[in-house]
Each structure stands twice: as C-alpha cells, then as structure tokens.
Amino acid sequence: MQNAKLKNYLHLHVLVFIAGFTAILGQLITIDAIPLVWYRMLFALVFMALYVVFSKAKIRISFRSILKLSFAGIIIALHWITFFASIKASNVSIALAMFSTGAFFASLIEPLIYKRKVIWYEIIFGIIVIIGVYIITQSELEYLLGIVLGIISAFLSSFFAVLNGKFLEQHTATVISFYEFISGVAFISLYLLFSNSGFNTDFFMLHVYDIVYLLILASVCTAYAFIASVYVMRYINPYTVVLTYNLEPVYGIILAIIIFPEKENMSFNFYIGATIVISVVMLNGILKNSKKLKRNPA
C-alpha cells in the first residue's frame, strides 16, 4: 500500500515535470506560435480520438453543451498561442513567471462564475503578485512584449480553468477535452484560411526535429498528461495535486537554465520578482486547499 502511494506521488511529480517541459519544447520548436498550437491540438485530437475508441468512452452530448465546450476550446487555443508567443518574444523564464500570475486572475474570475465573495487574502496576494510582476518588468524591459503576452496567457488559462471546473459538474474530462480540441483546431483553421500567412506550402514544410518535438508535445505533454492526471487524482487528494502543480514554473525555469544557459541568463531582480510571484501562488494553494480539507476531511 505504501509503495503504491509513493508510486502515485512520483507519477504526479513526473506530470508536473512534463508540464514544465512543455515550455522547453515551445522554445525548441522553430515554427511560429499559431501553427505550433494548430499542430499540437490536431495531433492531440488524434491521440485523444484513439483513446476514446479503445476505451469506448461515451462522448455524445447535447448541441448546447458542444457550443459551451467549443467556446472553452477557443479560449485554450488562444491561451496556448499567447503562451508560446511569449516564449518566442522573450524566453521560457519570462513566460513561466508570467504564467504564475494565473492564480491572481482566477481569484477575480471565480467569484463572477461561481457567484461567491472575494476572499480577503486574495486581494493582498493580488497586490503582492502585481509588485512581483512590476519588479520583473522594470529589470527586463527588453522582454516587455513577452511579459504582456505571458500575462494575457495567464488570464486566458485561468478563465479556461474556471470554465472547465463548471463543465466537470456535468461532463467527464474526456468529453470536455475531446470537443475543446475539435473547436480549437477549427478556430485556428478558420483564422489561417482567411489570413495572408495561412495554409501554404511553407506551413506544411516542417523540419524533422519540429515534427518530433510536436509529436512529443501532443502525445506526452497533452494527451498522456491529461489522461494520467485524471488517473492520479483518484489516489492523491486535491490539496497535494494543486500544490504540486504550482511547482510547474519552478521545474520549467530550472530546466530552461540548464538547457538554454545563455538565453535564460536573467537579472537578479527577475529572480526576486519570480520568487515573489511563485511563492504567493504556492501559499494561495496551501490556504485554499487546507480550508477545503477542513470542510471535507474524508
């Protein structure tokens, strides 16, 4: 029993490591953010469809539900586009540090969606996060575009997560992801069809390394990570899962420093600001989930 528990804890950390590695792949893949996300969602959709077929999952839902999930699929597509665009415009460290501000945005979005009061410490945490971002911005002005894109990405990610929380009350995670991936691919495809730099010969002329990285991104970092995270949450309490996933930017930044030492050489003030933001995110996770455990000790 103890070995099984340890195995699931290790599995959870592997999943968080994979989440951090997603940003590394975004740096390694040479194509722009929009085609990158199109390929990622298309390949992931194929892997997800195979999972649905072999697991015989029931995915038939109402048209109204499909429309709602389609809207969320567009949001996650825009989140990934701005996230990878942030990496392209700056680097992995900037993108992940800004991604950590998502917890602040979630504290503003959740009360609107779930119609609850704003928690007092969320306001304080939000102010501290803004201070951390300000410190990063002042010390890394050359990466201002990447910072702005990273913040937009964090907002979209939080909006998506809150929406999915509502959807999970009615649908399985498999159904949600399947329709979201379809709408995401369709949305980007429509954009590319009507844009000057859309589907052309160059779009489909991928370097062999880009194809390999995209397949890893779609299979391991998207389809597998999704299925495995659902499995792990059956055996590990939400407090541990949420708190551990807050280590994603830490793992990602450490990996980036090791793999791209020259590009990820940041100022001392950046690490002060990033530490402030990430620490607040982790503290917020501790407080929120400890309260949930007190209400539901089982």
45-51: long-range contacts (C-beta < 8 A, 24 or more apart)?
45/178, 45/181, 45/182, 45/185, 46/218, 47/218, 47/219, 47/222, 47/223, 47/224, 48/174, 48/177, 48/178, 48/181, 48/223, 48/226, 49/178, 51/174, 51/223, 51/227
Number of domains in the chain: 1
Token pair recorded at residue 19: 């989440």
Residue 8 CA to residue 61 CA, distance in Å, equals 32
- pLDDT at position 282: 75
Residues 6+ apart with CB under 8 A from 292: 238, 239
- pLDDT at position 86: 96
- How deeply is 219 buried, as exposed, middle or buried, from its count of CB atoms within 10 A (0-12, 13-18, 19+)? middle
Per-residue pLDDT of the chain (298 residues; tens, 9 = 90+): 556 667 878 888 888 899 889 999 999 999 999 999 999 999 999 998 998 899 888 889 999 999 999 999 999 999 999 999 999 999 999 999 998 888 778 777 877 777 777 777 777 887 888 888 888 888 888 899 999 999 999 999 888 888 877 787 788 878 888 999 999 999 999 999 888 777 888 888 899 999 999 999 999 998 888 777 767 766 776 556 666 777 788 888 989 999 998 888 888 889 898 888 888 877 876 776 665 545 554 4
- pLDDT at position 263: 86
Residues 6+ apart with CB under 8 A from 37: 77, 80, 81, 84, 184, 188
Name the one residue in this structure whose structure tokens are 């990878």.
84
Domain span at residue 187 reads: 2-295
- pLDDT at position 180: 92
Q: What is the pTM of this model?
A: 0.86
CA distances from 122 to 80, 147, 249, 291 (A): 26, 22, 20, 14
